[in-house]
Homo-oligomer: A and B are copies of this chain.
Amino acid sequence: MSQAANSRQINDVSTYMQDVGRRARTASRALAAADTGAKNAALHGIADDLDAQREHLIEANRLDLEAGRAKGLDAALLDRLELDHARIDSMIDGLRQIVALPDPIGEIFDMKFRPSGIQVGRMRVPLGVVGIIYESRPNVTADAAALCLKSGNATVLRGGSEAFHSNQAIADSIRRGLDRAGLPADAVQVVATTDRAAVDLMVTMPESIDVIIPRGGKGLIERISATARVPVIKHLHGVCHVYVDDEAEPQKAFDIALNAKTQRYGTCNTMETLLVNATVADDFLPGMAAAYRDKGVELRGCTQTCRILDGNCIAATDADWDEEYLAPILSIRVVADIDEAMAHIAQHGSLHTESIVTENITKARRFLREVDASSVMVNASTRFADGFEYGLGAEIGISTDKFHARGPVGLEGLTSVKYIVLGDGHVRT
């Protein structure tokens, strides 16, 4: 049965979600045992089906866009919601790229003989069932399903209500692709109700869902974290710093500080606060500030910064040091040394991405060792913190937690490991 046939009002959301969970759990067993060929065939099949169904996808998307306009959604939200041929191409490309990634499942490593004679090692296995809760972009439906599928996990996807028809149309293509490859169609289920109770149920079903990955704004993620009884892979926000040391090479510091702030403003790995060593602040800041001014970046500085920049700077308030601007705004603080820089980062950072610019290897090693963040960098722009840039192939999200996956989460972050033991009739004495 097509999921689209299900897109009516569902009266008993709790019973419906329990059924979704049970189907996912059952499908996850088949998927864990599926070989790489079958999973890749399904990914190609989904890509082919999306390609064949372009007009249908665009038609379904038109329903969402019309409803969105009627509801008065703003232009940015409508843009994120829209599916055109270029975006369908990009979904299809994404699926085929995941085919090309090595299958992490079944990898055996660390096999060692023990004095008892047994051979012990580990095998990489799927997590089981992954729940994804996301907002308006319908492409997440295909991207997230593909990463979970390749890593042997069943998926329960719950997209935003404004993308309901688009998501259901993509879900139909996914089901057909799975079915043609001989994999259970329940391996990827897109929740067919816009009732928000479905989200509350998903995050409290540990018997059916092994991990929740929320993708969306801070509000969504805070709400989910507060109620979840299932582990959540998440990052709340990105307050990233670049520290320009007194032994920084000035050109590198300039390039990195400019790139980390201005290459894109709306991303979580964008620098929000620049820390500058007091010894070099007088030399470094005026040229840097001029470059930011050319890009239209508003500067909010500490007292020393404002003195050096002499008027071309707004006085920062305490709140500025904790702010994720996601906009052409930068806070700047002059610090005495690396210790003060690291103390500022420990107090105000969001454990996301931190970078030092220095030629001094001792300070570089200290920063790498002591700064607590999902990515720590030397002489590189914070903008590199990204699954593609790190070579993971794709990312399903970024985690700033220390438990399980940390940093950009690719296929490996969607797996677990189990111990395997090979003997020859061995018993313990």
1/0 contact string of A187-214 vs chain B (CB within 8 Å): 0000000000000000000000011000
Using CB atoms, name the residue of chain B closest to A425. B252
Kindly provide the distance from the CB of A274 to the nearest chain B CB, expressed in whole angstroms: 15
Question: Are A120 and B390 interface neighbours, CB within 8 A?
Answer: yes
Given A375-B421, A384-B116, decide whether A416 and B390 contact each other with a Cβ distance below 8 A: no
Most buried by B among A33, A120, A123, A377: A120
1/0 contact string of A412-429 vs chain B (CB within 8 Å): 000011111111111111
Taken together as a complex, chains A and B put the C-alpha atoms of A422 and B384 apart, in Å, by 11
Taken together as a complex, chains A and B put the C-alpha atoms of A346 and B427 apart, in Å, by 24
Q: How many residues in A have their beta carbons less than 8 Å from beta carbons of B?
A: 67
Chain B residues within an 8 Å CB radius of A120: 384, 389-391
Taken together as a complex, chains A and B put the C-alpha atoms of A368 and B426 apart, in Å, by 17
Question: Is A178's CB within 8 Å of the partner chain B?
Answer: no
Using CB atoms, name the residue of chain B closest to A402. B416
Chain B residues within an 8 Å CB radius of A419: 374-376, 385, 390, 406-408
Chain B residues within an 8 Å CB radius of A391: 112, 114, 120
Question: Are B418 and A406 interface neighbours, CB within 8 A?
Answer: yes
Kindly provide the distance from the CB of A107 to the nearest chain B CB, expressed in whole angstroms: 11
Kindly provide the distance from the CB of A211 to the nearest chain B CB, expressed in whole angstroms: 7
Using CB atoms, name the residue of chain B closest to A383. B428
Kindly provide the distance from the CB of A182 to the nearest chain B CB, expressed in whole angstroms: 17
Question: Are A418 and B407 interface neighbours, CB within 8 A?
Answer: yes
Taken together as a complex, chains A and B put the C-alpha atoms of A244 and B120 apart, in Å, by 21
Question: Is A379's CB within 8 Å of the partner chain B?
Answer: yes
Question: Is A404's CB within 8 Å of the partner chain B?
Answer: yes
Question: Is A128's CB within 8 Å of the partner chain B?
Answer: yes
Chain B residues within an 8 Å CB radius of A29: 346, 370, 372
Question: Are B33 and A403 interface neighbours, CB within 8 A?
Answer: no
Question: Is A380's CB within 8 Å of the partner chain B?
Answer: yes
Kindly provide the distance from the CB of A40 to the nearest chain B CB, expressed in whole angstroms: 18
Kindly provide the distance from the CB of A248 to the nearest chain B CB, expressed in whole angstroms: 10
Interface of A is mostly: mixed
Question: Is A118's CB within 8 Å of the partner chain B?
Answer: yes
Chain B residues within an 8 Å CB radius of A374: 418-419
Kindly provide the distance from the CB of A256 to the nearest chain B CB, expressed in whole angstroms: 6
Question: Are A380 and B423 interface neighbours, CB within 8 A?
Answer: yes
Question: Is A317's CB within 8 Å of the partner chain B?
Answer: no
Taken together as a complex, chains A and B put the C-alpha atoms of A210 and B418 apart, in Å, by 23
Kindly provide the distance from the CB of A408 to the nearest chain B CB, expressed in whole angstroms: 7
Using a CB-CB cutoff of 8 Å, which residues 248-272 of chain A contact chain B?
Answer: 249, 251-252, 255-256, 258-260, 263
Using a CB-CB cutoff of 8 Å, which residues 388-412 of chain A contact chain B?
Answer: 389-391, 402-404, 406-408
Question: Is A335's CB within 8 Å of the partner chain B?
Answer: no
Question: Is A281's CB within 8 Å of the partner chain B?
Answer: no
Chain B residues within an 8 Å CB radius of A423: 377-381, 384
Question: Are A420 and B376 interface neighbours, CB within 8 A?
Answer: yes
Write 7 A-B pairs (CB below 8 A) sorted by A numbering: A128-B402, A210-B402, A210-B403, A263-B429, A375-B421, A376-B420, A389-B428
8 closest A-B pairs by beta carbon, nearest first, are A380-B423, A252-B425, A259-B427, A402-B416, A383-B428, A377-B421, A375-B419, A407-B419
In addition to A127-B402, A376-B419, A406-B418, 7 A-B residue pairs with Cβ atoms within 8 Å of each other are A29-B372, A114-B390, A263-B429, A372-B418, A376-B421, A381-B426, A408-B419
